[in-house]
Every structure is written in C-alpha cells, then in structure tokens.
Amino acid sequence: MATNIAPGRHKCSLCRSRTTKVIPIGAGTAYCYHASMRPWIVISLCCLLAAPALGQDFKAGSKAYRRGDYVSALEIWQPLARQGHAGARYQLGLMYEYARGVGQNDAKALQWYTKAANQGVAAAQYKLGVMHDNGWGVGQSDGEAVRWYRKAARQGHAYAQYDLALMFAAGAGVPRDTVRAYMWLNLAIAQGNGHMIGQRNEIARKMTPAQLAEAERITHEWNETE
C-alpha cells in the first residue's frame, strides 16, 4: 500500500497523545501496536493459570469488563491479582494504562504488567517492552525494551516480534542486525500479519543475497525447533 510514512516513530492516529513506533496503513495515517491491542479484549487463556475457583471469578470479571462495567471488573480482579492470578494482574495493568474504572496511571500499569510478565504472560512482557521503549511510567531504555520484547517474541507474540525486528533494524538496544530483523519479521508475518510485509521488504532492500539467505535459514531453523 502506498504511504508517505517511513518506518520509525510517529504520532499514532488512534491514541494521538503518545508517540511510538507505528505501522503505516495509508498516506499520512498510521497506528501503533499498543493501540491496536484493544483494551477491551480480555485474555481468557490466563484462566488456565489459576485454580478452577479463581478461574471462574476471573471469567466473571471478564464478563463485567466486556459490558463496560469496569468498577465491577476491578472489584473482582483486584483480590485475584493480590492472590497471584496472572491474568488478573495483566488486566489491572490494562485498566490503569487505559483508565478503565481507575485514573490513568502508567506507573501502576507498569507494576501490574511486571508481575504478570514475571509469571510468563507474553502480552504483559510485550507491554513492558512498549513502556520501556517509550518511557511510560519508567525511564526510557532501549535495552530493557529489547529484553522484554525478546521474551514475548520467543513465546510467539507477533507484535513483540515486529517491534524486536525494528530494534534490530535500527540498532536500538542491540547491535544493528538486518538478518535478525528480517527473521523476526518473517515469523510475525507467518502469523497472518501481511501488513508487515512492506517493512520486511524495506529491510530486504538493504541486505545482500547472502544475508537474505541466512535470514531465511535461521527463520526455518526457528520454525523447526518451536
């Protein structure tokens, strides 16, 4: 798709108030991955990380959240989060980031994302990458952004794979490596994200045939081992 937006940092056409890395979707228009992860989408698989009784309570919070009753969702999820329920911890992070039933507070969002991320929730790990990448609720750090993007990317999180690819392409937080950038984009695209092909092609134009061959080889090896 033709666009006049180059890969990099631009103001998101959805959240507008924040600047982040974006995907171009048309001339002069772009959106960021943190905005595309709509805050009303609830992680249902996290119910599997807790005892059945807690899982049922989590589902009750999810139903309240989906109907826009954020106060009830908060009342249900807060005790679960304090008991260690990873899904509830992630959802509280979303609520604080997007001001759902609570005041907007990046620092508190970061705290809950961190707890969920340390329990292995890939979406929370990705969120931590975004927050460190942009300096929301924490000092900006490319190195920390890469660390959390990498954790989520290794679990197959496509948005994390995309952002990690951009970090490798720019040499931000890691040595510049177009082969790794191409590989991570390949993996993200393989999950049905065709809108990323333009970014991959842009990187490919700067690679030698040998580098492209190596990128395809390590992509194949990754797929074989996962």
What's the rounded Cα separation, in Å, for the pair 29 and 9?
13
Domain check: are 88 and 110 in the same one? yes
Q: Look at the chain and report how many structural domains it folds into.
A: 2
Through-space distance between the first and last CA atoms of the chain, rounded to whole angstroms: 32
The span from the CA of 35 to the CA of 22, in Å, is: 10
DSSP 3-state of 71: helix
Question: Residue 189: inside a domain, yes or no?
Answer: no
- Paired with 22 in beta bridges are 32
> 55 with 131, same domain?
yes
What is the helix (H) or strand (E) element at residue 126, kind and residue range?
helix 122-134
* Residue 101 tokens, joined: 């039933």
Q: Domain boundary residue among 127, 149, 171?
A: 149
- In a domain, residue 140? The reply is yes
Last residue of a domain, one of 115, 149, 183: 149
Q: What is the pLDDT of residue 14?
A: 38
Asked whether residue 193 is assigned to any structural domain, the reply reads no
Q: Are 25 and 82 contained in the same domain?
A: no
- pLDDT given for residue 54 in this prediction: 62
Q: Return d(Cα 9, Cα 183) in angstroms, integer.
A: 21
pLDDT at position 138 is 95
Give the separation between CA 66 and CA 90, rounded to whole angstroms. Answer: 15
The H-or-E segment that residue 9 falls in is strand 9-11
Taking a C-beta distance cutoff of 8 angstroms, is the pair 98, 39 a contact?
A: yes
Point out the domain boundary residue: 116, 134, 149: 149
Distances from the Cα of 126 to the Cα of 23, 118, 152, 161, angstroms = 16, 12, 6, 9
For residue range 117-129, list pLDDT tens digits in order. Answer: 999 999 999 999 9
pLDDT digits (tens, 9 = 90+) for 5-47: 344 444 453 343 344 454 443 333 344 544 444 443 445 444 4
Q: Which residues pair with 19 in a beta bridge?
A: 11
CATH of the domain at 132: 1.25.40.10
Per-residue confidence (pLDDT) for residue 56, from 0 to 100: 77
DSSP lists the bridge partners of residue 14 as none
By residue range, what is the domain housing residue 58?
A: 45-149
204, two tokens: 């490919």
79 and 20 in one domain? no
pLDDT of amino acid 45: 45
Spatial contact of 73 and 65, defined as CB atoms under 8 Å apart: yes
- Residues of the chain below pLDDT 70: 1-55, 226
